[in-house]
Structure 1
Amino acid sequence: MPDVVAPAPGARRPLRIALFSGNYNYVRDGANQALNRLVAFLERQGCTVRVYSPTSDTPAFEPAGTLVSVPSLSIPGRGEYRVSLGLPNRLKREIRDFAPDVIHLSAPDPAGHAAKKLGRAMGVPVVASIHTRFETYLEYYGFGFARRAMEVALGWFYAGLDEVFVTTPGFGQTMRDARIISSEPAVWSRGVDKTRFNPQRRSPEWRWSVGIGDSVPVIAFVGRLVLEKGLDAVVAAVAELQRRGVPHRLVVVGDGPARERFAAQVPDAIFTGFLDGLGLARAYASVDMLLNPSTTETFGNINLEAMASGIPVVAARASGNECLVTDGATGALVTPGDVAGYADALQLYCTDPLLRAAHGKAGLAAAQAFDWDAINGAVLSRYRELIAAKHT
């Protein structure tokens, strides 16, 4: 009789997953929305997910999974964000009782460090996903001299993990070049909701409601209004278009602590405030191009949303943008800091509606490949592989 081979642990049964986040739902950004989508997908597959994160009395949205609050305090100067104070013994006992099959870290904070150590002691796979280029933030707040020290500290955090997930192969190479990670990472990309973001959402009525005519080329900036999103580059590019006499309107979709300063620098811009749901989708489809000068993103979610909406993207030549925007086909990639380069690309789209339409159509076609379930399914498959390897 042939030997009967038992299925590998975790090969078929629903998994128990402990996820650690620095901001799971109290501020809405691309990173925590990706994590919530992953958790919702895992639970649809029958998995049980507990999420350990700082929390707020005024969360931005309802969380997926079971959210467990960890002790935290607000970050000085950026009070909308919180940092964990680690894991008290009661939470460590709770995690041990939960007996997760895998521990997933998404922030290099004290709770993440404690969870890494706990996972090692429990003998379960510990993985991490990199969502934010924290080391680049220092330069926007006068601490650029500390960047290498930050990179070293991040390297300590990611060392010795069973897997590290990055958003693109190019971003993974950037992290290896900076010696933040040492081995080849896995790719956890991002998807886009194509039923929500699509060109059919275009609305002349929406344009009229914010004071924009049918024929005026509209440049959109979408995102949180914080310095690290490249607001100074937006100011400089728009000023150069005005100096050249190029007709256009700037629409700013979003809010944040730098709004007052930014609004004073672009007095002719239209500020919609924060938009979500169909309101955001309608705004994307109703403008004519997206300007995204940020160099701090690991994956340009706004680029993908704009492409799915059928508009071209002018973005900084950085890892989070190069993976999505094809220069000269779906948009334009500009060297960071090149004000004339941004203005040239925007002027071309403002003055050539046929090119604008062609690049928007090409972006729409490219966006079709980014399916959330397939992307999140790859993460679940990797969990199972690691569990099986651990038991082997």
Structure 2
Amino acid sequence: MTESFLPHMNGVTGSVLQILRHLERNGHEAHVIAPDAVGIPSRVHGAPIEPVASLALPGYRNVRIGAATTRRVAASLERFRPDVVHLASPFALGWRGALAASSRGIPAVAAYQTDIAAYTERYRLPATTTFARNHIVRLHRRATLTLVPSTESEHQLTGLGVDRIRRWGRGVDAERFHPSRRDESWQRCMTKEVIVGYVGRLAAEKQVEDLAVLQQVPGVRLVIVGDGPSRARLQAEMPDAVFLGHLDGDALAQAIASFDIFVHPGESETFGQTLQEAHASGVPIVATGRGGPLDLVRMGIDGWLYRPGDLDDLRMRVADLAGDGRKRRAFGVAGRAAVEGRSWQAVCGQLLGHFEEARGLHGLDRQLRSARIRRPEPVLPAVGRRWQRYVALGDSLTEGLCDPAPDGALRGWADRMALLLAARGGLHYANLAVRSRRVRDVSGEQLTKARELRPDLVSILIGANDLVKSHADVPALAAQVEQVVQTLRDDGADVLLVTPFLPDRRAARLFTRRFADFASRLAGVAERTGAMLIDTDLHPELSSRPNWGEDLVHLSSRGHRFLAYQAGEMLGVPHADTLGALDQVLHDIDATTRAAWWQHHALPWVWRRLRGRVAGDGRVAKHDDYVYIGRSSSMRSVEVH
């Protein structure tokens, strides 16, 4: 379901067309629901197009707003029976799609591409802005998964209370947009001056009027490609600029490649597809330092970012490149190199992975059969913070059962995370976790010892052993954890809370609602205390069989690695997600037989329970004082396997 489609071409339409092409090439069946418009095709890349009633957007005669009812959309879904509903830049029609998907029990993936609230704010409609912002939150919280194109849009939605957010950028057609498209004769016909070009809609939210300051830069000619309701006003304000109107296809590719500098003044862009096209064309960029450009333009490498709203800075950055052809060429080469790995094939392949994740999350939601309070994972309290003293609290999962090192010692996710943190400059690390421990142990002896060590970072993963008891008081357990967290926060430590989790086994489903209730309460604890939270419900792949050890109740080495890299990403370890993917490729975990499981794990557990004992009886923490991890002649060698 898309808010925009052919014959109106924009970033949303372009991405939908690329998705349809990829789905067709890979043997998937697609169906498109889009606002009706004169000239809308009946089929694109093998997918039938179902037009629905629409209204013209005021000020944009060619832009239509879908006005279909939820019942109409639900009937369409019932006929097609999709595995997943993709909502492209949802707002009006997308809201109906989210409701219809929910009513039919179908997972929905919402791709956040347009900052509607910023647009209404730009048009000075405060009442509408509040409605738009609330509507965005309501819509994306109803979706199974939300995809965002940039770091800033991720922070924006997280701040509004949207959860289950994943990064998904946009691909670029690096064959069509290519430096070879540059036409020197096109440029000579235009002007002998340095060409500074803009491509996009001519509307208030794009802030094209800011480019008027470039008329004061000697030797520069401003060329504007695009159309929209502000064109007449902009032509009057910038009489020396060349307005080429709307261009697409090869004509657009030729124009961009023939620019000397590409400018982008809009502050409300969630991504900035034209910036990628400029880089693919080998053209340096000057863009505002807000929104999507922050992830696309590398300062001093392939372009400049100017201070938002500072037009003197904009003029200075353009003048710098206009007067230095050598720098322009170097920036252009670097920009081209940066986008060569961002093909639409790769990006759409990532999208299919998000579709699969949404199906897994949707299955989890249905399994819980309760109103799970979905909250965002709190962001890092101090971006780039380097901790010096880290203490891990918990039970067997944090002790590291089923994650043996070559020397027989146990590692676990906390040990692995400590190594990631130590790579940034050394770390003192203590692990006080012991198997079979419960919340009362963390709030008692473990908390007492931890406070003696005066840590600046503490992780807590506890509660599973309490929750599988026949009479677990979930509110009381959560209250105990909150007291621990608040005490540590009052001591000045950052706290990373991890919600306990279950394997994907039929027997474990007896406890899913109880675990979900506890996780919801821990989310509230994190929100009230300022702790960081890894809500493992948002990572359903953790429950899959390969992530669990041979005893089927503890994480395998693969599972410990997965959790460690999720924690590393939460704590701002550079490229933790990429390192995790690489680590997974380098390891292959073999499954054990059912007979071995009964002999080595199930029967001994039953025997201990009959005798009133637990596996942790008589055991002490493996690191009850700090060990130093880092580059030092006196340290012991620590290696990740």
Which TM bucket (shorter chain)?
Answer: 0.7 to 0.9
1:183 to 2:160 alignment = no
Which stretch of the first structure deviates more once superposed, 85-94 or 377-386? 85-94
Q: Cα gap change, 1:388/1:140 in structure 2, threshold over 3 Å: closer, same or farther? A: closer
1:372 to 2:354 alignment = no
Superimposed CA distance per residue, residues 266-316 of structure 1 (whole angstroms, 9 cap, x where no aligned partner):
111112222222211111111100010011211111111111111110001
Superimposed CA distance per residue, residues 57-82 of structure 1 (whole angstroms, 9 cap, x where no aligned partner):
14599844221111111123333222
Superimposed CA distance per residue, residues 14-36 of structure 1 (whole angstroms, 9 cap, x where no aligned partner):
xxxxxx11112232111210111
How far is the alpha carbon of 1:239 from its aligned partner?
3.7
Task: Tell me the amino acid that sits aligned with residue 121 of structure 1.
Answer: S
Task: Tell me the amino acid that sits aligned with residue 211 of structure 2.
Answer: V
Contact kept in structure 2, 1:23 and 1:55, CA below 8 Å: no
How far is the alpha carbon of 1:43 from its aligned partner?
1.7
SS at match of 2:65: strand
The equivalences for 1:51-130 within 5 A come to 51-59=32-40, 63-64=44-45, 65-87=47-69, 89-130=71-112
Partner residue, 2:239? 267
Structure 1 residue aligned with 2:300, among 328, 331, 335? Answer: 328
Q: Which has the larger radius of gyration?
A: 2
Partner residue, 1:203? 183
Structure 2 residue aligned with 1:238, among 198, 201, 214? Answer: 214
Aligned equivalents of 2:40 and 2:214: distance in 1? 34
Contact kept in structure 2, 1:188 and 1:376, CA below 8 Å: no
The equivalences for 1:170-319 within 5 A come to 170-177=152-159, 179=160, 181-209=161-189, 211-213=190-192, 216-235=193-212, 237-241=213-217, 246-319=218-291
Aligned equivalents of 2:127 and 2:269: distance in 1? 20
Aligned equivalents of 1:60 and 1:282: distance in 2? 27
Q: Cα gap change, 1:138/1:198 in structure 2, threshold over 3 Å: closer, same or farther? A: same
Superposition RMSD in Å: 2.0
How far is the alpha carbon of 1:390 from its aligned partner?
4.0
1:38 to 2:15 alignment = no
What is the aligned length? 363
1:167 to 2:167 alignment = no
Aligned equivalents of 2:104 and 2:167: distance in 1? 26
Q: Cα gap change, 1:281/1:318 in structure 2, threshold over 3 Å: closer, same or farther? A: same
**Structure 2: gaps spanning 5 or more residues:** 365-641
Task: Tell me the amino acid that sits aligned with residue 368 of structure 1.
Answer: E
How far is the alpha carbon of 1:229 from its aligned partner?
1.2
Contact kept in structure 2, 1:25 and 1:61, CA below 8 Å: no
Aligned equivalents of 1:389 and 1:142: distance in 2? 39
SS at match of 1:27: coil
1:155 to 2:142 alignment = no
Contact kept in structure 2, 1:55 and 1:70, CA below 8 Å: yes
Aligned equivalents of 1:390 and 1:337: distance in 2? 42
Which stretch of the first structure deviates more once superposed, 299-308 or 52-61? 52-61
SS at match of 2:74: helix
SS at match of 1:128: strand
TM-score (norm 1): 0.87
Task: Tell me the amino acid that sits aligned with residue 192 of structure 1.
Answer: V
Which stretch of the first structure deviates more once superposed, 70-79 or 107-116? 107-116
Q: Cα gap change, 1:88/1:151 in structure 2, threshold over 3 Å: closer, same or farther? A: closer
How far is the alpha carbon of 1:228 from its aligned partner?
1.2
Contact kept in structure 2, 1:331 and 1:359, CA below 8 Å: yes
Contact kept in structure 2, 1:86 and 1:110, CA below 8 Å: no
Structure 2 residue aligned with 1:49, among 25, 30, 50? Answer: 30
Partner residue, 1:346? 318
How far is the alpha carbon of 1:117 from its aligned partner?
2.0
Aligned equivalents of 1:125 and 1:62: distance in 2? 24
SS at match of 1:41: helix
SS at match of 2:55: strand
TM-score (norm 2): 0.54
Aligned equivalents of 2:69 and 2:127: distance in 1? 31
Aligned equivalents of 2:100 and 2:92: distance in 1? 12
Between the two structures, name the one with larger relative contact order (CA 8 Å, sep ≥ 6).
1
**Structure 1: gaps spanning 5 or more residues:** 1-19
SS at match of 1:298: coil
How far is the alpha carbon of 1:94 from its aligned partner?
3.1
Task: Tell me the amino acid that sits aligned with residue 190 of structure 1.
Answer: R
Task: Tell me the amino acid that sits aligned with residue 23 of structure 2.
Answer: L
Give aligned-pair identity as a percent: 30
Which stretch of the first structure deviates more once superposed, 197-206 or 167-176? 167-176
How far is the alpha carbon of 1:91 from its aligned partner?
4.6
